[in-house]
Amino acid sequence: MSTTESTATTESISINNTEFEIFGGIFFSTAFCFGLLDTRILYIMTRSSIYRSRECYRLMIHIGIVQVLMCPGYIAIGLSRLFTFDPWLIPLKLMVSSVRAEIFLSFVLALNRLKIIAGLEYPQIIHNVLTGIGWLVGVAHFVILLTPCCEYHIVRYHYITRFDYSIPGSFVLQRVGSLYMLVVNRFSKEKSILMYAVVRFVCDTTLAVLYHFGAHFLPSDLWVEAVLIYAYQVNNLFIPTALYLVVCGTVRKELIPWRKKQVACALIVQVTTSII
């Protein structure tokens, strides 16, 4: 190889590394910020007796816990692309297992809304049992990934996480998981909860189709992987947070302390003016 060709190759690798570093830095920063925001919202909802007393909000708290568990995986992806190393696989396995649990918990939330709208009469314990099953699905998926039968990782100089199909169990688990995600339909019909369910359903279904079948019609370029994995982060960490703020007005006020003080001061001024 000539000196010119060697220099060109080095420059090409350097440019690629720079792209990965930029992507990793941005990906890590947004995942970290979304994680802090999710944790703050979860704290507000868990400490309020108003939210803990209603089943729909208790289910949203369960979903919030699962979403917080996804954050370490996205942070690990960002750091590994920023510093070019193979990440610790436990956070990645926890991330994908949390997605499985979240799907089932969101399905239970839709059942809760359907029960209220349709006036269905059945024991409350059914929702409790289904909530437990949702957590068991996530735990079972995580435990299976910890065994030698399956592997879930991210290849160096790639953006998207994948199952290792060289291990037979990985293919089976991936196929079962994809069918599970497409079959569990999360749809409800109650005002703000309707918007939450519809937006999440559309986003999750779109990403599932692109992830599992995109290879047949999408270009096989790294930028496609980058866009897809970033879309997953936004879908799993940012969109639920934004929807929580739309659905829960109290959480929206509690999230911004100075805004809460401004509202309180405005009310005091209004009351004082009325009295005068």
Select the more confidently predicted residue: 268 or 103.
Answer: 103
pLDDT of residue 93: 93
Rounded Cα distance between 175 and 183, Å, is 12
Top CATH class, 3-251? mainly alpha
Give the range among 84-98, 100-114, 139-153 with minimum mean pLDDT. Answer: 100-114
| φ and ψ of 77, to 5 deg | -60, -45
Give the rounded percent of residues in the chain with a pLDDT score beyond 90: 23
Q: What is the mean pLDDT of the chain?
A: 77
- Over residues 100-107, mean pLDDT: 87
- Residue 169: pLDDT above 60? yes
On whether the pTM is more than 0.75, the answer is no
pLDDT of residue 268: 38
- Over residues 70-82, mean pLDDT: 92
Select the more confidently predicted residue: 197 or 203.
Answer: 203
* Assigned token pair, 11: 């420059």
Place of tokens 């960002």: 78
- Over residues 146-162, mean pLDDT: 86
- Residue 260: pLDDT above 80? no
Domain edges within the chain: 3-251
Give the range among 5-19, 117-131, 168-182, 193-207 with minimum mean pLDDT. Answer: 5-19
- Over residues 238-262, mean pLDDT: 67
